Structure 1
């Protein structure tokens, strides 16, 4: 009890004036949002954590924090630090985590900046203004596991990380990195997480990832990649998630993913894909989710997905799909497994705007008929049927007209003479009038028949 009380009093006695200290023996010193422009002259030696976030600190001198053997965490986020004297962190021999993110005036680090931090596990230098860091800056930080350097101005992957065999997580997103060289990631055999998204990467050298044998999550999305090495991901047999979305890829090669037997999620969305090679996914026996949305794909042969294995989600929307018989398998798959939806058709025009699930694929003699051909066949049948009806109607009208004229002539004869005269007149009329009428009928019929054949030939 006395020891505990002594610890509390020690923290209380040495707690800086503008800070608060928690009461436990290994206290936390809370100096965030205190308006500090300079560091306090003294901190409690028992302190396990110091928070100096969101102040106005500009300069860290040598041994800026004195000797604090119990300190595990130091946070300097959101300050105005512009210069760190070499040896500034000497005396913090047991520090595990150092956070200096969001210091926009840090543009340079000396090789000896982190001297004395031999047990450091996590370092956060995100959202500063660093253009590079010295190659030998981490020579003492052999235990370092997590390095966060996102949103800086790096044009290449810092050479300082090479050979850091204990690193498990590297965050380099939102920089200006243009290439991944063959030696950029050498010696990172323990790396599990690598984030290179939102850079300007347009070139990846052969075997650039050869040492990343334990990598599980890899972000390469939103870069400028238009192609990849033939066996870009060779040896990454532990990879579970690969994000290649938001690049400029136009095709996918079956040689890229051959070793990714543990891959569960693959992003190929927001590219310019027009072609996927058959057999591309054949070794992805653990794949659960595949993103192919927002590309330029018009068709997707069934052979690309053989064998399908246990794919759980397939995203295909925002592609100009041509909904012909080559996609009939996909419609059946949609209906059978309910794993994919939203496949809007761009062509043929007869089904444009419909979802693939709404397209009817007819079969004639066991063979699938494309919607365009099916509509054309239907249209031809309708034209022929309409023409035939018109032809029959014309014949009927012509014959009725002839019969009416004959009846009219006979009645007129009976009114103007005797029965004999009527008979003679009738015979005379038949000789002089009926002949021309029948001729006209047959000429009309021949014209109609000719018209029908012309129409049917055109269809």
Structure 2
């Protein structure tokens, strides 16, 4: 069941339990009256609508009943109704005159009827005052031309979750006050240029989860007042330049789950200054061109695509951006100044990419960041100072990376200890190397354990040291200048991974500064 449908059902049943009024004594059989003007009938044994209902009733709701047919006389005794709802019933057929007497009806819903596959022409011919019509989750296959011709006051029309495959030309011609149109979850394959003629006030258009693959440049010419456009879950593979250019008031564009391989602001012409939300999740994007005209954009979702790199200036003019999602792509590198001037950004999602390193000043301007996800990449360490600019309480995810817990990890290790309360899933932030720390949590390691092996070339910087073995004894011999400081540490790692450490320091101020320091220890 659709979430909205389920919520409606829940709220209506909740009201039933609260309703105990004096009108209950005259309430229709098998129904409940929780106010003088509201009647709810929710009985699966009910096969016909009740008669002799009070003339005071304005809202009549029928749910989960066995009512299968609405005849011309069914509602003739209730012409005063302003709201009529049929939700999750067994309706199979509605006579064209079933609502003939309901001339004052303002809201009508006929949803959740799995056997209702058509509506007769003229069904809504007398509902000239109707402002809301919901026909969701039935089995409607076609919509006849002229079906909505008399609904000149209609503001909301929903027909989602049916099996409609085609829309007649000029179907919405007279709906000059329509502001919300939802045709999602149908089987539309093409949108004709004449389909939306007459929708001068349309604000929200939903065509998601159909099979639309073709949009022409004329598709939106008659709905220039559109504020929200939902095209998710279709098969759109290309958007021509200027296709949205007439939508100068558009604030939300959802193209999630299509087949786009590239995207740029040329699809808006030069008229994208009002767009606030752009959703491109789950396409096949390998390239982003300029977004410079999207100067009011606050939410940009680019997750679950195939992006491997981004231009350094891609967000140059998008300075009002607050939420950016680049997760689940193939990014291997981000230019150091790519987020430059995005000072108001709150969330950056970079998880599930292939980042092996990040630049030290990548987040230099993100002082107000609240959520940063770097989890599930290929990061071995983070550069000094990377996470220091953040000024307010923030949430960070760092798990799922092959962290290399050596001396280059000192900065990140100290930052994690100081900010452990801000790191989500800290128990999954594990060392990948070196071997003796593998699978250990970063937070459980002491700083002294973060060491780097010294090569022979580096040994010369520490004076001349040699390693000798004799029987069960290993000898480390270091020649030092007189009074030169030197510290030598020897670590014994036992089978249970516990480490015992022995330290010997050459301290000139308290010694005779001998020329040779020898440490003997058993071979492991």
- Structure-2-length-normalised TM-score: 0.66
> 1:126, 1:151 within 8 Å by CA — same for their partners in 2?
yes
1:345 paired to 2:431 = yes
Q: Deviations over 1:395-448 (max 9, x none)?
A: xxxxxxxxxxxxxxxxxxxxxxxxxxxxxxxxxxxxxxxxxxxxxxxxxxxxxx
Shift, 1:306, TM fit: 4.5
Unaligned stretches of 5+ residues in structure 2? 1-54, 59-75, 86-93, 455-465, 476-517
Does the 8 Å CA contact 1:42/1:66 hold for their aligned counterparts?
no
CA distances 1:91-110 after superposition (whole Å, capped 9, x unpaired): 22211111111112x11111
Which has the greater radius of gyration?
Answer: 1
Distance (whole Å) between structure 2 residues aligned to residue 173 and residue 190 of structure 1 = 20
* Deviation of the 1:314 alpha carbon: 1.6
Does 2:347 correspond to 1:268?
no
By relative contact order (CA 8 Å, sep 6+), the higher-ranking structure is 1
Please give the per-residue CA displacement for 1:131-189, whole angstroms capped at 9, x wherever unaligned: 02121121121211011110000012465323422111111101111101351243211
Q: Which residue of 2 aligns with 1:218?
A: 300
Residue 46 of structure 1 and its aligned partner are, at CA, apart by 1.7
State the partner residue of 1:399: none
How far off is 1:61 after superposition? Answer: 3.5
**Can you list the C-alpha shifts for 1:11-65, whole angstroms capped at 9, x where unaligned?**
6899954978999945322222343333232312222211222233233333221
Structure 1 residues 326 and 13: CA distance shift in structure 2, 3 A: closer
Distance 2:471 2:443 in 1: 31
Shift in CA distance, 123/182, structure 1 to aligned 2, threshold 3 Å: closer
Q: CA deviation at 1:67?
A: 1.4
Shift of 1:337: 2.5
Alpha-carbon distance in structure 2 between the residues aligned to 1:126 and 1:4: 37
Give the aligned partner of residue 189 of structure 1: 273
Matched, 1:198 2:282: yes
Q: How far off its partner does 1:372 sit? A: 5.6
Report which stretch shifted further, 115-124 or 76-85: 76-85
State the TM-score, normalizing by the size of structure 1. 0.74
Deviations 1:281-316 (A, max 9, x none): 101122121100000011111133353433612211
Distance in 1 of aligned mates of 2:343 and 2:221: 35
Question: Quick one: which of 153, 167, 171 aligns to 2:254?
Answer: 171
List aligned pairs for 1:104-143, cutoff 5 A.
Answer: 104=187, 106-143=188-225
Instruction: Give 1:212 deviation, angstroms.
Output: 1.0
Tell me the residue number matched to 2:444.
358
What are the superposed Cα offsets for residues 221-252 of structure 1, whole Å, 9 maximum, x if unpaired?
A: 11000011121111111111100000000012
Structure 1 vs Structure 2 CA RMSD: 3.6
The answer to whether residue 322 in structure 2 is matched with residue 236 in structure 1 is: no
Which of residues 58, 61, 79 in structure 2 aligns to 1:9?
79
Report how many residues are paired.
381
**Contact 1:7–1:46 (CA under 8 A) maintained in structure 2:** no
Partner residue of 1:36 out of 91, 116, 119: 116
Q: Distance in 2 between matches of 1:240 and 1:348?
A: 39
Structure 2 CA distance for aligned equivalents of residues 276 and 108 of structure 1: 44
Matches within 5 A, 1:14-413: 17=95, 25-34=104-113, 35-40=115-120, 41-43=122-124, 44-104=127-187, 106-157=188-239, 159-186=242-269, 187-205=271-289, 207=290, 209-310=291-392, 312-338=394-420, 339-340=422-423, 341=426, 342-362=428-448, 370=451, 387=473
Higher helix residue share: 1
Using the alignment, how far apart are the partners of 1:388 and 1:141 within structure 2? 84
